[in-house]
Structure 1
Amino acid sequence: MECVVSLCKCWRPVCLCLFSTMFRFRVGSKQCALPTPKMTENGLGHREKVLNMNTMNPNVKRVEYAVRGPIVQRAVQIEKELKEGVKKPFSEVIKANIGDAHAMGQKPITFFRQVVALCAYPDLLEDNKFPDDAKNRARRILQSCGGGSLGAYSASTGIEVIRQDVARYIEKRDGGIPSNPDNIYLSTGASDAIVTMLKLLTSGEGKTRSGVMISIPQYPLYSAALAELAAVQISYYLDEDKCWGLDVSELRRAVEAAREHCKPRALCIINPGNPTGQVQSRQCIEDVIRFAAEERLFLMADEVYQDNVYAEGCQFHSFKKVLFEMGPEYSNTVELASFHSTSKCYMGECGFRGGYMEVINMDPQVKLQLTKLVSVRLCPPIPGQVLLDLVVNPPRPDEPSYATFIKERTANLEILAEKAKLTEQIFNTVSGIRCNPVQGAMYTFPRLTLPEKAIAAAKGQAPDMFYCMKLLEETGICLVPGSGFGQRDGTHHFRMTILPATEKLKIVLENIRAFHKRFTEEFS
């Protein structure tokens, strides 16, 4: 390097010296200059970022995730404004946009937290405040951890004894149908496993690109993952007039139309439904399995709400159980991946990020690739694996924690059932809101009838987005517009969780009813 100014007696020549040093150097006897950077107003150089909107992965720009989208971002801003003393017509923001049970006040299951605490801090094993069955469970899990610590990595597929417990849980749930621990993959919540399977399923270019069938309305994880993977989303519509039922004739319409521009490869089912709350009948599941067999589609069964069934006459049937009860013609051929999670049901332990996937009839060579793919992420979080083990292996009737566990589990599910019914009843008293029964899961997806002036006032944004944003600004209630989940053209909805505490849920429902009346009058 050669400095242009050899002696600097004030700050300005020093700056020139440093600046020149950065952009002039000598190669042999020849002096060379680097390209001069663009100058900004303050005189400093400006380089274009290596990673910018033009150079970044274009697929990422197509990703949308309404559950944590613009309305939620505005809700966070409003919370800050309230803390800073800004006057609003409400005192708090109620985030009814996401299925986060504990954030809404649901209490954790005592036994689960006891065992996790013991595993995280084994010195507590000497504390007499903890029941013996919790201590025994913690010791068993710690013995399976490297160095007896939750801080050690596990196998990439998950801790062996926990995978064995998951297999036993599935066998018991499905009436004795065998489950092989080697087909169980523990995961960072169900979402991680779902995205992993979609990665395996997507390939091709142009008309050979993989097409994946997802329900409309859908949980935005699916559309976001498919956008990121540059796969083709094949939309099939649920029938709102039949309590969001699934009709195989609609599946056939969707797959036949899709063949013109992609290669249909997989069919995703959410049962019980999110955001629609329907529970599929056994007959419907059989029809779906036959359809998948005929069309040679890989089945993905998202069953994370399997304990959340409330409506009379409804019952959860696992896809695996129905598949095997249909006989070898199907159980030996139909490829299936099913998913479960610690985040929903009566547990609501979203933050632990625990889940599993069971694969059936997977090509052995592909299964090796799946194992390789999960190995890249090292392993799922160990505390999440521990929590999952307690979900699939809870206290037994002969153990001291059993009575408390059953009491807490039953109470959580009964409260959810009451709130599901309450939500449907109150919404259906509002002119311009129509709500199907919340048969399961933990959401409602009511249909809105909006005045034409309101639709015009939306000015380019989705009318239900306009509605939900106005609701947030006036009431502090944060919902997600139906347009974020997909819906038939010309219809408008919102998704709301039923998770707020009962008294708060009543306030939320009454405030929405009053707002809808004001909104309709304003734009009528």
Structure 2
Amino acid sequence: MSTSRLLSPLHLCGKSASLHRHKSAVSVSVRSLLCSENQKSHRMMASYQPSLSIDNINPNVKVMEYAVRGPLVIRAGEIEKELEKGVKKPFKEVIKANIGDCHAMGQQPITIIRQVLALVSYPKLLDDPRFPEDAKERARTLLKGCRGGSMGSYTDSPGIEVIRRHVAEYIERRDGIPADWQNIVIGGGASDAIKNVLKILICPIDGKKPGVMIPIPQYPLYSATLAEFNMAQIGYYLDEANNWGLSVDELQRSITEARKTCAVRAIVVINPGNPTGQVLTKQNIQEIVKFAHKEKLFILADEVYQHNIYDPNSEFHSFKKVMHEMGEPYSQMELASFMSASKGYMGECGLRGGYAEVLNMHPDVRAQYLKAITAMLCSTTLGQACLDVIMNPPQEGEPSYELYLKEKTSVLESLKVRAKMVADTFNSMEGFSCNTVQGAMYAFPQFKLPPKAIEAAKAKNQAPDAFYAFELLESTGICVVPGSGFGQRPGTHHFRTTILPQTDKLKDMLDKFAEFHAQFLKKYS
């Protein structure tokens, strides 16, 4: 063993060096050399400057923001740590109503989904009699579609073929019109699938930056992604007075103004709405399609909440079906529609399963789109397997059907009750107005703030609704997202809250909210 291994700098520097004074002159020399090298190393570390600084990183990353995981959520996490350490608060827990994370808020998994995931993850369970035969058959089908019969293998970049076929069959059942499995691309959640399509649009036109029309209020994935991709965000306001409906006049105003500075390439529509909870009528969708055709826009239809319809007078209509019914030329327009395993009745957010159905894309463009997807290899296989069960659920007569139907119905009926509970509560509070939550998983109420509160917000350099949300968090432990993170008409104040806390906890949350609001008005009036 070498001398340098025997004599470490820890032993040779400082007080411990006295233990070695009896060593030979050679040992002393080695000690001196090692101490010298150690000091030199410290000097080098002290003078080292990182190659990356805030001034030389991607500027697009610096400007992008994602409100649903922003400063309020960071503070909520800090408060949770404080509670764990025994810090006294006027509440016992943080209620994270900021994000549509169903299972985190107490929703139980759908049994058949978790059974299939267990079976494909550990195929020896296929011999276990506790698993129903239809779950085993689904698992065998999935494993057969994997290389080496293992979910640990890479899949084709657009996803496992049999799952893509099941997605197409699901769309056919939903819309009553044919769907080609080769138009299906599976991604790591709808977010991944959406970004893959937006990526194709990054190209200046006639020297102008590309732009995308998005609804205001919008889901911050879009504003964040457009900032990341250095694309122009073109907001069109939803009509709050008309239950967050969409006006063609507003679309025209928005695009006319935007074309002065950018090249408008596409329009995003979120239906059912996030954060607004509205469900578009068929007539509204037809108007959007005609507008997109006139303005030569690619349509991105975010339809991840298509199962979440609560209002008896509302119905989900897919863009694909409406365009098909409208006939040519509308049925020939470019469309990408998106669906996710994260929402609906299943709420499997963490598994990251979603799909895009991409229609009428030029063959040359489609080839480049698919090429870009191959660079990411493939989405997670467990997310794909989860999506498969959603697309290919138990049918009547199969062993799992009755339990599946009971669980699915229970989740959606409970969400329907909670949607009404949330809207009714906010509408009963002074200064609040909240549209009917027709669908999705959120309410986006408007509230009026006293001038004194607005002045206090300015003094803290905060948006007024962010100021309100921070006070709510510190006083009650309830975490919501300020409307300024989604976009809103100037001079209005909103926040987004989920309807996901289980009924008892939601009632408790709303009671605390009402009490806080009364105290807030008293404090700042």
Same fold at TM > 0.5: yes
Q: In the TM superposition, what is the alpha-carbon distance from 1:204 to its structure 2 partner?
A: 1.3
Report how far residue 202 of structure 1 moved. Answer: 1.6
Q: Which amino acid aligns with 1:203?
A: C
* Residue identity opposite 2:156 in structure 1: A
Give the TM-score of the pair, scaled to structure 1. Answer: 0.93
Q: Deviations over 1:254-280 (max 9, x none)?
A: 000000000000000000000000000
Matches within 5 A, 1:10-49: 14-17=34-37, 45-49=46-50
Q: Distance in 1 between matches of 2:37 and 2:166?
A: 69
| One-letter amino acid of the structure 2 residue matched with residue 338 of structure 1 | S
| Matched residue, 2:322 | 322
Query: In structure 2, what residue type is equivalent to 1:200?
Result: I
Is 1:108 matched with 2:104?
no
Relative distance call for 1:13 and 1:132 in structure 2 (3 A) is closer
Matching residue's letter, 1:377: M
**Structure 1 stretch 319-328 or stretch 204-213: which is displaced more?**
204-213
The equivalent of 1:293 in structure 2 is: 293
Code of the residue aligned with 2:512 in structure 1: it is N
Q: By percentage of residues, which structure has more helix?
A: 2
The structural deviation recorded for 1:51 is 1.3
Distance 2:317 2:463 in 1: 36
RMSD: 1.6
Q: Which residue of 2 aligns with 1:378?
A: 377
The 5 Å alignment of 1:6-405 reads 9=29, 14-17=34-37, 45-175=46-176, 177-204=177-204, 208-332=208-332, 334-405=333-404
1:223 Cα deviation (Å)?
0.3
Q: Secondary structure of the equivalent of 1:400?
A: coil
Residue by residue over 1:182-212, the C-alpha shift from the partner in whole angstroms, topping out at 9 and shown as x without a partner, is 1100010000011111110121178521110
Determine the C-alpha separation between the residues in 2 that align with 1:503 and 1:343: 23
Unaligned runs of 5+ in 1: 1-5, 23-36
- Shift in Å at residue 433 of structure 1? 1.3
Counterpart residue identity of residue 109, structure 2 = P
Report the AA paired with residue 428 of structure 1: N
Counterpart residue type for residue 182 of structure 1: Q
CA distance in 1, matches of 2:517, 2:411: 30
Q: Cα offset for 1:46?
A: 2.3
Please say if 1:462 is aligned against 2:463: yes
* Residue segments in structure 2 that go unaligned for 5+ positions in a row: 1-25
Percent of pairs with identical residues: 56
Report deviation, 1:45: 2.4
* TM-score, scaled to structure 2: 0.93
Letter in 2 for 1:439: Q
Give the Cα separation in 2 of the matches to 1:162 and 1:183. 12
Say if 1:342 and 1:353, in contact at 8 Å, map to a contact too.
yes
4+ long deviations beyond 3 Å: 6-20
Residue 28 of structure 1 corresponds to none
Equivalent residue for 1:437? 436
Paired positions, count: 498
CA contact (8 A) 1:166 1:184 kept: yes
Residues 278 and 440, structure 1, Cα contact 8 Å, conserved in 2: yes
> Kindly tell me: are residues 17 and 8 of structure 1, through their superposed partners in 2, closer, same or farther at Cα, counting changes over 3 Å?
farther
Indicate if the aligned counterparts of 1:207 and 1:261 stay in contact, CA closer than 8 A. Answer: no
Amino acid across the alignment from 2:130: K
1:453 aligns with 2:467: no
Sort the Cα spacing of 1:146 and 1:518 in 2 relative to 1 into closer, same or farther, 3 A.
same
Residue 121 of structure 1 aligns with an amino acid whose one-letter code is Y
The alpha-carbon deviation at position 398 of structure 1 amounts to 1.6
* CA distance, structure 2, for counterparts of residue 165 and residue 320 of structure 1: 17
Instruction: Name the CA distance, whole Å, in 2 between partners of 1:195 and 1:17.
Output: 50
Q: Structure 1 CA distance, aligned partners of 2:39 and 2:293?
A: 69
Q: Please report how far the alpha carbon of residue 8 of structure 1 lies from its aligned counterpart in structure 2 after TM superposition.
A: 6.3
Please give the alpha-carbon distance, in whole angstroms, between the structure 2 residues aligned to 1:407 and 1:191: 29
Deviation at 1:367, TM superposition (A): 0.6
Once the two structures are superposed, residues 272-299 of structure 1 have per-residue CA deviations (whole angstroms, 9 ceiling, x without a partner) of 0000000000000000000000000000
- Secondary structure of the residue that 1:45 maps to in structure 2? helix
Partner Cα separation in structure 1 for residue 383 and residue 46 of structure 2 = 48
Match of 2:474 in 1: 473
Structure 1 residue 7 displacement after superposition: 9.7
Partner AA of 2:492 in structure 1: T
Letter in 1 for 2:486: F
SS of residue matched to 1:306 = coil
Aligned to 1:32: none
CA distance in 2, matches of 1:290, 1:235: 19
3-state SS of paired residue (2:410):
helix
Cα deviation code 1:236-257 (max 9, x no counterpart): 0001111111111100000000
Cα distance in structure 2, aligned partners of 1:136 and 1:60: 45
Q: Is the Cα contact below 8 Å between 1:193 and 1:357 reproduced in 2?
A: yes
